[in-house]
């Protein structure tokens, strides 16, 4: 069992979730509450990682994060580090490929809130921020929990993009799924089995939590 890879995976998944919480909420709020030109294009772009082969996404991210590219170059000039084949690059890539798993549940949850509820809050004197924190956020909570659990599990299990963008650097970019692949290639079946079981258990437990949470929540709050 490669505990170092386990640590990298957990760290990556937690950091990605923490980053996706504000990013996902902002994007979901924007998509749920405003009508603007290009809204569909934005929604399609966010959803793209769901349908795109991970290697294709990984290729474009690799090109985009390369120190010769604008973004990669800018990052090098600011920090002195390259993004490609680094934990930071992997973190950035994880945010991109897990984005639909965060935004979609949040967006669906926000869309179920009747516009009148929001307007009633304004008419009751609540500012837009207060309405968001006191009304919209608690009502969208099941969607937000779902988004976080799905993002966590998906980041933990991603293979193609990680391989393309992070390579296989022990303690830096070697995640559990990459270590599992290595174990299989090296015929270390016991290690491969234990790592597969860990990934399977985490995925099963997290999805079960989502279902239990959503069910108990819908008993208390009927929208």
Give 17 or 135: the residue with its C-beta nearer to another protein: 135
Task: Give the whole-angstrom CA distance, residue 69 versus residue 62.
Answer: 10
Among 79, 127, 189, 216, binds another protein (CB under 8 A): 127
Q: Is residue 44 packed enough to be buried (19+ CB in 10 Å), middle (13-18) or exposed (0-12)?
A: exposed
In the complex, the smallest distance separating the C-beta of residue 112 from another protein, rounded to whole angstroms, is 11
Assess 120 for contact with another protein (CB under 8 A).
yes
Torsion angle, CA of 127/128/131/136, rounded to 10 degrees? 180
Assess 109 for contact with another protein (CB under 8 A).
no
Give 138 or 171: the residue with its C-beta nearer to another protein: 138
Binding marks (x or -) toward another protein, 184..223, rule CB under 8 A?
A: ------------------------------------xxxx
In the complex, the smallest distance separating the C-beta of residue 113 from another protein, rounded to whole angstroms, is 9
In the complex, the smallest distance separating the C-beta of residue 26 from another protein, rounded to whole angstroms, is 22
Q: Is residue 207 a contact partner of residue 153, using CB atoms and an 8 Å limit?
A: yes
Task: Name the token pair of 15.
Answer: 């950091």
Q: Which distant-in-sequence residues (6+ apart) come within 8 Å of 44 by Cβ?
A: none
CA distances from 214 to 12, 29, 141, 204, 210 (A): 26, 20, 9, 16, 6
Q: Which distant-in-sequence residues (6+ apart) come within 8 Å of 21 by Cβ?
A: 102, 144, 148
Assess 145 for contact with another protein (CB under 8 A).
no
In the complex, the smallest distance separating the C-beta of residue 119 from another protein, rounded to whole angstroms, is 5
In the complex, the smallest distance separating the C-beta of residue 222 from another protein, rounded to whole angstroms, is 4
Residues that bind another protein (CB under 8 A): 114, 116-117, 119-127, 134-135, 138-139, 220-223
């Amino acid at each position: 069992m490669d505990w170092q890879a386990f640590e990298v995976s957990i760290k990556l998944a937690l950091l990605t979730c923490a980053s996706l919480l504000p990013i996902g909420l902002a994007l979901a709020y924007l998509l749920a509450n405003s009508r603007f030109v290009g809204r569909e294009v934005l929604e399609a772009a966010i959803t793209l990682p769901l349908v795109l082969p991970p290697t294709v996404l990984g290729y474009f991210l690799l090109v985009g994060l390369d120190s010769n590219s604008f973004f990669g170059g800018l990052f090098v000039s600011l920090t002195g580090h390259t993004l490609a084949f680094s934990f930071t690059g992997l973190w950035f890539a994880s945010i991109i490929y897990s984005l639909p798993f965060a935004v979609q549940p949040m967006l669906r949850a926000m869309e179920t809130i009747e516009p009148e509820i929001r307007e009633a809050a304004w008419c009751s004197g609540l500012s837009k921020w207060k309405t968001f924190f006191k009304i919209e956020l608690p009502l969208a909570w099941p969607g937000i929990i779902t988004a976080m659990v799905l993002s966590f599990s998906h980041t933990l299990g991603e293979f193609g993009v990680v391989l393309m963008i992070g390579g296989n650097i022990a303690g830096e970019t070697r995640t559990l799924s990459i270590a599992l692949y290595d174990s299989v290639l090296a015929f270390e079946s016991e290690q491969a089995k234990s790592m597969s079981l860990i990934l399977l258990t985490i995925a099963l437990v997290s999805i079960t939590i989502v279902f239990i949470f959503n069910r108990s929540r819908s008993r208390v709050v009927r929208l």
